[in-house]
């Protein structure tokens, strides 16, 4: 009765994304002289939405889940709940960013490249989610990173954009070499690169130090991608200087991509119980990183004057929350799947919230309101709908129950407590309260302060509005509909540990 | 086996450190990039050498991929350095420091 | 059940209705609410008399009327009605005086064209309601509730002329000082409820009975011996009494309360607010009767207050102030009477005082009307000629107050003194109380007749006094009624005559000895002698009566001689420092003001500073520290990419070292 | 389903009001708020005793469904009421409606936003009192913060930004502490519970199913969790020394918002304390009876002393709220029928009385544009009706018999006095009761200064007649206060039904 698709169709989302990117190149080369913003963004969004729809369909249909993961290309790729779940995050964020970009880059040259780079980066991320060996991890990582470097410095006549691109690229290149060196050290000890194969041999290695060095370097590589301390330095500048939709994209999707490889590599290849015995307590290391990240991101965010930079630091802080998903793993793991699932849920909801927040800044830039909090004074009287939307996403980011961010953050804290790491949750709680303070600063500016007489808001960009409102709406809907996210994430997490 | 495996490890580590030293000390963006390439190759040494040691081709294959990716990376990097030069009339990486704190 | 008892709840409800009517419709009524008030209190009086008649026939009544809070498995809090000789007597007195005050108000308030009359009559109605309900309350909680309402009504009425500063201040003081007493009272109520599980006054389940049983059974409560515990509870309740009945040291509100309309003063002093305290002690006398310590404290508070207030009454210039201090002093006698076990004497004096003090205040009100609202006695003089009715009735009241035979005050005051002497003869310490009370008798006579002389005798010292304003029937009628009562009321319990002539004419004693056994005079006597261990000497009443009378007459004569002259002067001034001290009310007001402003307010300000600086400062400090930490952290981000690379390299080394050492990799 | 209807009506109503023009927003919000009010009264009418739903009672008007299936725990949509929560529900709906009416005069800008936020606030308040699943309850608990922040921040006084953010962050920190404490208990219970249903967690705790977590043995875990939860709720109540957000919030908030803040929001804290600390963790609460009782007494006396030092009418009422809430804690820790019942009744009573006081101060402010005692005198001359209500409200606050405050305080005093849980209960109670003298002190002083004496007004506002929409809510509240004072059994019967099982935990029948 049921018709079974061929196994390779499991990577259909990736294929759709990469094909769309190609189509964009073709379309762009048909009309090399003229820009077609509607056409280009239309194609792009069609591609990402299709990919997302397929991923959601697979998730709903149970593809690759409940222990039935689909492995392809001699175990190099795997399609399971986790891969699909994160693919949904990447494609959803990409869709919102593309819709918003329609207004943002309409007046810019090289839009075809812009969109296709965006799609290729998305492809890379989707590939990261499916990567099942360190080779694929590295290749996918580079596929995601390289277009991102270019996208960040897309506004090549803008000093900020260039500076951001330079820093992002230089530190990214450095980090990827460190990451690669880590891989090579792991290979030195184990002689394999496929994740489950590493797990199979890691128990019998000769030199713990070399493996330990390798694991530490790998984790630092993840830290770069997720913008976690101590490899977070690029993030404030890259987010601040990049074209704002790209900031949204990198801080939401790219961060999630970093997490998905971290989850998969650490859990699949380096089983905690084995490595703990070897003396490589990587959970402890993640804990150190998580606490440092939460503290640094939030404390620095609290004292920013520039809204976008505040969001950048807050995005670092959120990486710290999500790291709880790894930091609160235990051996023996009674609630490991809950902990990991919590981080996945948070990354999903965070994708919408954070994208919404950055896109609001993009809207502000569009109107030329300026960069600081004061520049946003009284915007609610001029743009109430966008302001309601951003209020929703900001409050949700702060962990108040207007959206799914509330539940995801508290499920994370819950996970930490369930594992007995109440102090992790306590640190999270403290900085969460602090985050309320700085998000409320923007709310205060928007709602409470009175608007300056000089600012004129006379045009309402459709793309940006649509994207912001959609992001807010999804955030809100994910509060009552959180069960869908929670259950899917948990199934994926259980599979990963199985 | 001509040399002990530790030698390869030491070589690669040394190369890595040289690269890192370059990264930390050179302010020229191109030199920075070249130093990073050195570090990449440190990893490649490990991969290739231990591919032989472990008796499989995984490492060597991966090293080929890495070389290709390094090329792509340089391509992007050079692009960025070009716009940097255009904006700042210089390729000094420490000049581009308007965004901070 | 007697039919009268069925309607008894109405005694209080009639004035409640008049309150509602006056409040809601007073503006539209011809007399601005006086009429409903008169009708209501008149009706209350009739029903009270009817109830008293029923009680006279030997019936008593106790019934729970309303469950306030129903406890399912615990004590329910209920309201009930208790009609026995004591409450029936008091109901008549209160409703009578309330009625007369309403009538008097027609002449005193309405005729003067006051604004806010509906408010006045509404509050008067509420006042009567509260007091009447207090009187027939069957339990201490209900008593407390209406005791408080009485306090609020007096607050409202004292501040009737709120547009002036002084009444506003006086009303605050009155409520605050009595509230301080009520604080202890409330603890007492709660304590009695928690200890005995009931606050009912009568019956074998009444708390006085349970207390007696507990003492007899040698029980302990919260680790304290039952007798001490009962004493403690009794004293706590006494706190409320001291506040309301203006006993030392909580008497200071009462003279200030003279800022209210004189009618209100009459009501407060004679029948409601101030009477409530003493009535309460009488009501739960069975509880005090088992505690010698409590009784002794009551007696000494009373005796001291009697003397203390009398000294201050001597030097006042304002006619109402003199009356105010006389009130304090007279309630001191009642307390003394109760404290020495003279239950009948105290109740007797309570009743008599109600009549003559209402009379004196209303008389003073009449004088004030005549004097165009002047109250300083030194501006009066010679009013006798112009105000004959007022004069003669006022004189009757004064004679009663001074305690001159055969006016009512003589009989009751003498009985109080007699009881004190009897006890003092056996327990010498009480002689001190007796002596103080006796000294006060002289002073009472003196200041009373100083007042009469200055007001009515001599010659008019101002134009106002020379051409007084006439007064109408509504003023005269209450004066006459009360004048008669002040004169003859004492005849119902002429103890010296009864003992000497061996006649059975102690009607009040007989009256109070009837009713519920647990609240009968005989029971109280037994308790006082057997449980509290008081014993009384066997002395004839005649000589003490003569001593008291002589002192009273001497005081009165001296007062009259000194001031009933054409141009009276103030000889007391020659006392110098002592005069100043008394004149300043022994600086108690200053002390209390210091307590309120110098001490409490300063403490409050200190607390506020502490709160702002330390507690809130900590809160704000945490936020400041956090933000400062944030500023530090962001300095890490110096904007130079090489720096970042260096920091990253350093952190790699640090992490590697840390985990290598921690994990023991080498 | 009726409970869901209330939540839905207020939430959807809020959206409708947001979209409505400013001119009609107030009337529209009033009309909408009548629906939940009607429903809550209907629930009151139909309510039959069910016992305490945390202690085995069957929730009235219950609905229960799985919301999020989070292995190994299910988060549920579970709502229902008992004799403790229903009166509070009624209180919340009444005060919301009255607050809306009382806002018609003072709120003259961005009305649709104002009333929309009020309705969202009402949603949260209703939710807090009906939710039985912890996570669901926590959602509502936190929802309340948002409209409150904006209401204070946008329509507040001169220092509104400071007050709003202080309220926002302070109470949020408290919630976080409480959350961590509570989930630690849930996980400590391990397999004993499969949901976040608070009644089930209570039952499991009472069964002694708590295990160790994070290296803490069961007893330490319980104590630590108790303290975290207690601290979290103490902020909301607020108790000394975590009270300083309250005066700022009250002073800056517009009066209708103060009405809800004092009237209902503070009751969330005491309600939660009753449900969590004193019902779930009754054993720890009894162990810690001495410090809790001392804190309660300090709150009473210290709060009243602070009120004594104020000269802003709203600040006076705000500090006295701290004092009144101290009584609630005292009643709760007593573990007697009258103590717990009285504490619950005090929540209702204080909600009405403080609501009335803030409202009447608001009406005075509408006319005079000042709240400083020193700026006015003799107002009774110009606004007799308002002043009459003020005086009545003040006496209600002082615990005048036959008004609800006395009934509540008397119940608490009685209950506390005979407590066997608090050592030296009579002494502790007697000290706490001194609050009734201080409260009289500052209210009488404030009234003497501002209402009586010769008329004087520093702001030189022309004193108009207060409009009927300002006056009517005052009389409604006053009538309710007197009604509940004369017949407390309107609520006390059902409260006792639910409070008795709690008292029984302390050994009292």
| Four-CA torsion D55, D56, D60, D61, nearest 10 degrees | 110
SS3 A62: coil
Number of domains in chain B: 1
- Chain A residues touching residue C627 (CB < 8 angstroms): 302-303
> What residues of chain C lie within 8 A of the CB of A300, using their CB?
630, 633-634, 636-637
* Residue B23, both tokens: 């990264």
Q: In which band, very low, low, confident or very high, does the pLDDT at D390 lie, cut at 50, 70 and 90?
A: very high
Judged by CB atoms closer than 8 Å, whether chains meet at A433 and D183 is answered as no
8 Å CB contact of D149 and A420 = no
Q: Which residues of D touch C603 (CB under 8 A)?
A: 305
Which D positions 390-419 lie with beta carbon below 8 A of chain C?
391, 395, 398, 400-402, 406-407, 410-411, 413-414, 417-418
B86 in reach of chain C (CB within 8 A): no
Is residue D311 scored above 80 in pLDDT? yes
Q: Does the CB of D475 have a partner CB in chain C at under 8 Å? A: no
pLDDT tens string, chain B, 101 residues long: the values are 467 888 899 999 999 999 999 999 988 999 999 999 999 999 999 999 999 888 888 899 999 999 999 999 999 999 999 999 988 888 888 888 888 87
Q: Are D277 and D230 in contact (CB under 8 A)?
A: yes
Task: Note the pLDDT tens digit of each residue in A164-205.
Answer: 999 999 999 999 999 999 999 999 989 899 999 999 888 888
C-alpha torsion A335→A337→A340→A345, nearest 10: -110
Q: How far is D507 from chain C (nearest CA, A)?
A: 13
- Integer Cα distance of D151 and D253 in angstroms: 7
- C659 neighbourhood in chain A, CB within 8 Å: 212, 216, 280-281, 284-285
Q: What is the pLDDT of residue B2?
A: 62
- Chains near D with 3+ CB pairs less than 8 A apart are A, C
- Give the model confidence (pLDDT) of D460-504 as tens digits: 778 778 888 889 999 999 999 999 999 999 999 999 889 888 988
Cβ contact C662–A220 (<8 Å): no
Question: Chain D residues with CB inside 8 Å of A420's CB?
Answer: 213-215
Beta-strand runs (E) in C179-253: 220-221, 224-225
Q: Which residues of A touch C (CB under 8 A)?
A: 166-167, 170-171, 174-175, 178, 208-209, 212-213, 216-217, 220, 230-231, 233-234, 236-237, 278-281, 284-285, 288, 295-296, 299-304, 313, 434, 437
Per-residue tokens: D503: 């008292």
pLDDT for residue D350 = 93
Chain B contacts of A170, Cβ < 8 Å? Answer: 29, 32-33, 36, 77, 93
Q: Which residue did the predictor score with more confidence, A67 or C397?
A: C397
Residue D404 has pLDDT above 60, yes or no: yes
Provide the mean pLDDT of chain A: 90
Name residues whose C-beta falls within 8 Å of residue D184's C-beta, 6 or more positions apart in sequence: A417, A422, D213, D214, D221, D224, D225, D228
User: pLDDT-based confidence at D508, cuts 50/70/90?
Assistant: low
Of A146, A163, A177, the CB nearest to B43: A177
The answer to whether B93 contacts A142, with C-beta atoms less than 8 Å apart, is no
**Pick from A335, A337, A448: which is nearest to D153 by CB?**
A448
CB C141 within 8 A of CB C189: yes
CB atoms < 10 A from the CB of D105, how many? 18
CB contact under 8 A, C641 and B101: no
Whole-angstrom CA distances from A360 to A114, A382, A472 are 20, 14, 11
Structural contact between residues A428 and A321, judged by C-beta atoms closer than 8 angstroms: yes
Alpha-carbon gap, residue D115 to D117, rounded angstroms: 5
Q: Where would I find the H helices in C372-520?
A: 388-402, 408-426, 429-456, 463-466, 473-488, 495-501, 507-512
Cβ proximity of D202 and D189 under 8 Å: no
Q: How many CA atoms lie within 13 A of A318 on its CB side?
A: 36
* A171, closest residue in chain C (CA to CA): C645
CB-CB contact of D294 with D354 (8 Å): no
Name chain C's partners: 3 or more CB pairs within 8 A: A, B, D
- The rounded distance, in Å, linking the Cα atoms of D488 and D498 is 15
Contacts of B98 in chain C (CB under 8 A): 639
Tokens of D99: 């607050």
Question: Is C653 an interface residue toward B (CB < 8 Å)?
Answer: no
B54 and chain C in contact, CB less than 8 A: no
C634 CB within 8 Å of a chain B CB: yes
Say what the pLDDT of residue A30 is.
86
**In order along chain C (666 residues), what is the average pLDDT of each group of 10 residues?**
81 89 82 83 90 86 88 84 88 90 81 77 89 90 90 88 85 88 91 88 84 86 87 91 87 85 84 86 88 89 89 84 88 90 88 88 84 80 80 88 85 87 85 88 88 82 76 82 86 82 83 83 86 83 86 87 78 75 79 83 90 90 91 88 92 91 83
Touching A: C residues 633-662, CB under 8 Å? 633-634, 636-637, 639, 641, 644-645, 647-648, 651-652, 655-656, 659-660, 662
Chains with 3 or more CB pairs closer than 8 angstroms to A?
B, C, D
Nearest CA in chain B to C645: B24
Nearest to C601 among D308, D430, D451 (CB): D308
Asked whether the beta carbons of residue A425 and residue D153 sit closer than 8 angstroms, the reply is: no
Confirm or reject contact between A487 and chain D (CB < 8 A): yes
Beta-bridge partners for D396: none
Contact of chains C and B by CB distance (3 or more pairs under 8 angstroms): yes
pLDDT at A207: 86
- As beta bridge partners, residue D456 has D377
**Residue B72 located in a structural domain:** yes
Angle at C621 between CA C617 and CA C626, to 5 degrees: 160
Residue range of the domain that includes B78 = 5-88
Q: Do C663 and A167 touch (CB under 8 A)?
A: no
Residue B37 counted as domain residue: yes
CA A233 distance to own-chain centroid: 17
Beta bridge partners of D361: none
**Chain A: residue nearest D145 by CA?**
A400
Query: How near does any CA of chain B get to the CA of A163, in Å?
Result: 6
Helices (H), C57-164: 85-108, 117-135, 140-158
Residue A141: which of A266, A225, A18, A51 has the closest Cα? A225
In a domain, B100, yes or no: no
Q: Which two tokens stand for residue A310?
A: 């505040």
Whether B24 and chain A come into contact, CB under 8 Å, resolves to no
Average pLDDT over residues A364-393: 90
Annotate C253-318 with three-state secondary structure.
Answer: HHHHHHHCCHHHHHHHHHHCHHHHHHHHHHHCHHHHCCCHHHHHHHHHHHHHHHHHHHHHHCCCCE
pLDDT of residue D509: 45
Interface list for B 12-51 with C (CB within 8 A)? 20, 23-24, 27
Which of C634, C638, C641 shows the shortest C-beta gap to B93?
C641
**B93 domain-assigned:** no
**Model confidence over A444-468: pLDDT tens digits?**
999 988 888 888 888 889 999 999 9
Host H or E run for residue D385: helix D384-397
Q: What is the CATH number of the domain that holds B48?
A: 1.10.287.3510
Q: Does C613 touch chain A (CB under 8 A)?
A: no
In a domain, B32, yes or no: yes
Helices and strands in chain D: count of H runs, count of E runs: 23, 4
Compute the radius of gyration of chain C from its Cα atoms. Answer: 31
Contact yes or no for A421 and D161 at CB 8 A: no
In B, minimum Cα distance to A157 occurs at B87
**Rounded to a whole number, what is the distance in angstroms from the first to the last CA of chain C?**
104
Looking at residue A1, its pLDDT comes to 43
User: Which residues have a Cβ under 8 Å from the Cβ of D177 and sit 6 or more positions away?
Assistant: A429, D228, D229, D231, D232
Question: Cα-flanking dihedrals φ and ψ of residue C417, to 5°?
Answer: -60, -40
* Cβ-defined contact of A448 to D161 (cutoff 8 Å): yes
Which candidate from C148, C187, C607 shows the least CB-CB separation from D401?
A: C148
The CA distance from A273 to the nearest CA of chain C, in Å, is 14
Q: How far apart are CA C602 and CA D490, in angstroms?
A: 42
Q: Smallest Cβ distance to B100: which of C637, C646, C649? A: C637
Give dist(CA D426, CA D410) in Å, integer: 14
Give the gap in angstroms from C-alpha C633 to the nearest C-alpha of chain A. 6
Q: How far apart are CA D326 and CA D498, in angstroms?
A: 21
Nearest CA of chain B to the CA of C618: how many Å? 28
B99 lies in some domain: no
C300-309 per-residue burial string, b: 16 or more CB within 10 A, e: under 16: bbbbbbbbbb
Find, among A254, D486, A276, the residue nearest to C69 by Cα: D486
Neighbours of C570 (CB within 10 A): 14
Which residue ranges make up each domain of chain D? 2-505
């Amino acid at each position: 009765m049921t018709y079974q698709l061929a196994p390779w169709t499991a990577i259909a989302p990736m294929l759709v994304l990469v094909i769309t990117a190609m189509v964009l190149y073709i379309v762009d080369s048909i009309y090399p002289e003229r820009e077609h913003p509607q056409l280009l963004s239309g194609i792009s969004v069609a591609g990402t939405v299709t990919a997302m729809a397929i991923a959601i369909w697979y998730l709903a249909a149970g593809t690759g889940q409940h222990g039935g993961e689909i492995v392809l290309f001699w175990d190099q790729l795997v399609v399971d709940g986790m891969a699909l779940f994160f693919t949904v995050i990447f494609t959803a964020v990409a869709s919102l960013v593309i819709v918003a970009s329609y207004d943002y880059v309409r007046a810019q040259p090289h839009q075809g490249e812009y969109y296709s780079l965006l799609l290729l980066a998305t492809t890379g991320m989707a590939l990261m989610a499916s990567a099942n060996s360190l080779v694929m991890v590295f290749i996918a990582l580079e596929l995601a990173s390289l277009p991102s470097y270019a996208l960040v410095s897309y506004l090549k006549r803008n000093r900020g954009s260039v500076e951001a691109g330079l820093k992002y690229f230089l530190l990214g290149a450095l980090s990827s070499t460190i990451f690669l060196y880590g891989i090579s050290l792991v290979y030195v000890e184990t002689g394999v690169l496929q994740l489950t194969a590493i797990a199979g041999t890691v128990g019998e290695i000769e030199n713990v130090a070399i493996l330990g060095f390798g694991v530490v370097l790998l984790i630092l590589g993840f830290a770069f991608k997720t913008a976690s301390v101590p490899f977070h330095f690029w993030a404030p500048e890259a987010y601040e200087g990049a074209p704002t939709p790209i900031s949204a994209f990198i801080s939401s999707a790219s961060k999630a991509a970093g997490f998905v490889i971290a989850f998969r590599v650490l859990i699949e290849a380096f089983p905690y119980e084995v490595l703990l015995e070897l003396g490589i307590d990587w959970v402890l290391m993640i804990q150190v990183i998580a606490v440092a990240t939460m503290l640094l991101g939030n404390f620095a965010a609290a004292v920013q004057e520039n809204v976008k930079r505040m969001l950048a630091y807050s995005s670092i802080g959120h990486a710290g929350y999500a790291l709880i998903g790894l930091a609160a793993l235990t051996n023996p793991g009674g609630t490991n799947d809950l902990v990991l699932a919590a981080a996945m849920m948070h990354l999903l909801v965070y994708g919408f919230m954070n994208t919404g927040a950055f896109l609001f800044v993009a809207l502000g830039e569009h109107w030329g309101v300026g960069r600081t909090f004061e520049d946003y004074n009284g915007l609610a009287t001029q743009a109430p709908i966008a302001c309601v939307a951003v209020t929703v996403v900001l409050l949700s980011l702060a962990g108040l129950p207007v959206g799914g961010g509330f539940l995801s953050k508290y499920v994370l804290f819950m996970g930490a407590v369930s594992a007995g790491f109440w102090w992790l949750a306590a640190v999270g709680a403290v900085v969460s309260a602090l985050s309320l303070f700085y998000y409320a600063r923007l709310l205060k500016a928007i709602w409470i302060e009175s608007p300056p007489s000089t600012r004129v808001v006379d045009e309402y960009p459709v793309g940006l509005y649509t994207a912001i409102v959609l992001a807010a709406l999804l955030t809100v809907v994910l509060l009552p509909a959180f069960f869908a996210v929670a259950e899917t994430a948990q199934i994926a997490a259980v599979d990963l540990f199985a | 086996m001509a040399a002990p495996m530790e030698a390869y490890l030491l070589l690669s580590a040394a190369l890595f450190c040289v690269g890192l030293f370059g990264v930390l000390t050179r302010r020229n963006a191109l030199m920075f990039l070249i130093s990073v390439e050195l570090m990449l190759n440190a990893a490649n040494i490990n991969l290739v050498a231990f591919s032989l040691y472990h008796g499989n081709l995984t490492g060597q294959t991966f090293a080929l991929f890495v070389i290709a990716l390094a090329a792509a990376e340089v391509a992007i990097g050079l692009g960025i350095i070009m716009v940097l030069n255009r904006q700042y009339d210089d390729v000094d990486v420490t000049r581009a420091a308007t965004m901070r704190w | 059940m007697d039919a009268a008892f069925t309607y008894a709840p109405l005694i209080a409800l009639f004035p409640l209705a008049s309150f509602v009517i006056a409040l809601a419709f007073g503006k539209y009524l011809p007399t601005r609410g006086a009429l409903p008030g008169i009708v209501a209190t008149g009706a209350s009086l009739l029903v009270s008399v009817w109830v008293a008649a029923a009680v006279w026939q030997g019936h008593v009544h106790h019934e729970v009327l309303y469950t306030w809070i129903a406890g399912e498995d615990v004590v329910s809090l209920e309201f009930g009605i208790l009609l026995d000789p004591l409450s029936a007597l008091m109901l008549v007195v209160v409703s009578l005086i309330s009625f007369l005050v309403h009538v008097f108000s027609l002449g005193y308030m309405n005729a003067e064209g006051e604004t806010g009359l509906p408010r006045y009559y509404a509050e008067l109605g509420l006042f009567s309601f509260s007091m009447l309900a207090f009187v027939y309350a069957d339990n201490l909680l209900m008593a407390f509730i209406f005791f408080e309402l009485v306090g609020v009504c007096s607050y409202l009425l004292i501040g009737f002329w709120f547009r002036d500063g002084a009444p506003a201040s006086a009303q605050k003081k009155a409520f605050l000082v009595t509230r301080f007493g009520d604080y202890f009272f409330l603890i007492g109520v709660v304590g009695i409820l928690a200890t005995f599980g009931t606050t009912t006054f009568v019956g074998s389940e009444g708390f006085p009975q349970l207390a007696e049983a507990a003492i007899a059974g040698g029980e302990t409560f919260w680790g304290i011996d039952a007798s001490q515990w009962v004493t403690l509870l009794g004293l706590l309740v006494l706190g409320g009494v001291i506040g309301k009945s203006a006993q030392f040291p909580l008497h200071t509100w009462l003279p200030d309360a003279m800022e209210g309309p004189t009618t209100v003063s009459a009501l407060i002093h004679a029948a409601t607010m101030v009477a409530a305290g003493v009535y309460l002690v009488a009501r739960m006398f069975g509880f005090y009767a088992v505690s010698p310590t409590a009784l002794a404290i009551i007696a000494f508070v009373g005796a001291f207050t009697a003397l203390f207030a009398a000294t201050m009454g001597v030097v006042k210039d304002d006619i109402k102030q003199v009356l105010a201090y006389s009130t304090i002093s007279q309630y001191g006698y009642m307390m003394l009477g109760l404290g020495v076990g003279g239950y009948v004497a105290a109740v007797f004096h309570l009743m008599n005082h109600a009549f003559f003090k209402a009379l004196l205040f209303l008389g003073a009100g009449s004088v004030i009307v005549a004097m165009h609202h002047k109250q300083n006695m030194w501006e009066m003089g010679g009013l006798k000629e112009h105000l004959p009715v007022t004069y003669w009735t006022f004189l009757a009241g004064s004679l009663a107050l001074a305690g001159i035979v055969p006016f009512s005050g003589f009989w009751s005051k003498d009985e109080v003194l007699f009881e004190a002497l009897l006890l003092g003869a056996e327990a010498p310490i009480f002689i001190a109380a007796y002596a103080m009370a006796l000294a006060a008798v002289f002073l009472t006579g003196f200041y009373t007749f100083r007042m009469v002389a200055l007001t009515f005798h001599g010659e008019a010292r101002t134009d106002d006094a020379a051409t007084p304003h006439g007064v109408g029937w509504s003023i005269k009628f209450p004066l006459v009624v009360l004048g008669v009562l002040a004169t003859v009321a004492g005849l119902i319990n002429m103890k010296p005559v009864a003992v000497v002539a061996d006649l059975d004419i102690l009607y009040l004693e007989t009256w109070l000895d009837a009713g519920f056994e647990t609240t009968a005079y005989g029971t109280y006597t037994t308790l006082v002698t057997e449980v509290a261990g008081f014993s009384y000497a066997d002395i004839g009443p005649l000589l003490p009566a003569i001593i008291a009378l002589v002192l009273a007459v001497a005081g009165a004569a001296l007062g009259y001689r000194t001031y009933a002259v054409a141009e009276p002067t103030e000889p007391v001034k020659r006392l110098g420092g002592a005069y100043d001290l008394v004149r300043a009310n022994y600086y108690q007001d200053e002390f209390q003001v210091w307590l309120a402003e110098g001490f409490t307010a300063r403490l409050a300000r200190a607390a506020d500073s502490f709160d702002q600086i330390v507690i809130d400062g900590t809160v704000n400090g945490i936020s400041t520290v956090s933000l400062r930490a944030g500023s530090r952290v962001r300095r890490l981000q110096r904007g130079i990419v090489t720096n970042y690379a260096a920091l990253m390299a350093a952190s790699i080394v640090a992490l590697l070292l840390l985990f290598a050492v921690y994990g023991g990799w080498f | 389903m009726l409970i869901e209807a209330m939540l839905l009506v207020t939430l959807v109503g809020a959206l409708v009001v947001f979209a409505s023009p400013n001119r009609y927003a107030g009337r529209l919000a009033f009309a909408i708020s009548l629906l939940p009010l009607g429903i809550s009264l209907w629930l009151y009418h139909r309510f039959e005793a069910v016992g305490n739903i945390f202690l085995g009672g069957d929730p009235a008007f219950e609905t229960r469904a799985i919301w999020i299936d989070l292995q190994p725990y299910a988060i549920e949509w579970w709502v229902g009421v008992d004799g403790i929560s229903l009166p509070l529900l009624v209180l919340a709906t009444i005060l919301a409606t009255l607050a809306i009416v009382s806002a018609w005069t003072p709120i003259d800008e961005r009305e649709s936003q104002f009333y929309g936020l009020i309705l969202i606030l009402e949603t949260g308040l209703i939710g807090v009192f009906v939710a039985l699943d912890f996570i669901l309850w926590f959602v509502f608990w936190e929802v309340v913060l948002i409209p409150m922040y904006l209401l204070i921040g946008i329509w507040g006084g001169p220092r509104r930004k400071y007050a709003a953010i202080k309220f926002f962050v302070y109470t949020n920190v408290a919630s976080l502490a409480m959350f961590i404490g509570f989930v630690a208990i849930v996980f400590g219970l391990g397999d004993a519970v499969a949901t976040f249903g608070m009644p089930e967690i209570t039952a499991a705790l009472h069964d002694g199913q708590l295990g160790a977590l994070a290296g803490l043995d069961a007893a330490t875990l319980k104590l630590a969790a108790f303290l975290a939860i207690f601290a979290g709720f103490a902020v909301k109540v607020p108790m000394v020394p975590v009270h300083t957000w309250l005066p700022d919030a009250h002073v800056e908030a517009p009066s209708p918002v103060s009405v809800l803040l004092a009237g209902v929001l503070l009751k969330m804290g005491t309600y939660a304390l009753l449900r969590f600390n004193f019902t779930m963790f009754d054993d720890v609460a009894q162990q810690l009876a001495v410090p809790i009782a001392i804190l309660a007494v300090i709150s009473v006396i210290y709060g009243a002393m602070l009120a004594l030092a104020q000269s802003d009418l709203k600040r006076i009422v705000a500090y006295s709220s701290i004092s009144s809430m101290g009584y609630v804690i005292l009643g709760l820790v007593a573990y007697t029928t009258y103590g717990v019942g009285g504490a619950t009744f005090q929540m209702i009573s204080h909600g009405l009385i403080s609501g009335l006081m803030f409202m009447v101060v608001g009406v005075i402010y509408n006319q005079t544009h000042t709240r400083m005692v020193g700026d006015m005198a003799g107002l009774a001359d110009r606004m007799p009706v308002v002043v009459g209500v003020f005086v009545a409200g003040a006496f209600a606050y002082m615990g005048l018999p036959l008004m609800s405050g006395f009934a509540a305080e008397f119940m608490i005093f009685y209950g506390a006095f005979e407590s066997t849980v608090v050592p030296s209960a009579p002494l502790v109670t007697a000290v706490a009761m001194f609050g009734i003298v201080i409260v009289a002190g500052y209210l009488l002083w404030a009234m003497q200064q501002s209402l009586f004496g010769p008329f004087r007004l520093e702001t030189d506002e022309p004193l108009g007649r207060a409009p009927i929409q300002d006056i009517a809510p005052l009389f409604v509240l006053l009538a309710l206060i007197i009604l509940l004072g004369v017949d407390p059994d309107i609520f006390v019967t059902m409260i006792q039904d639910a409070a008795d099982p709690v008292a029984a935990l302390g050994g009292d029948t």
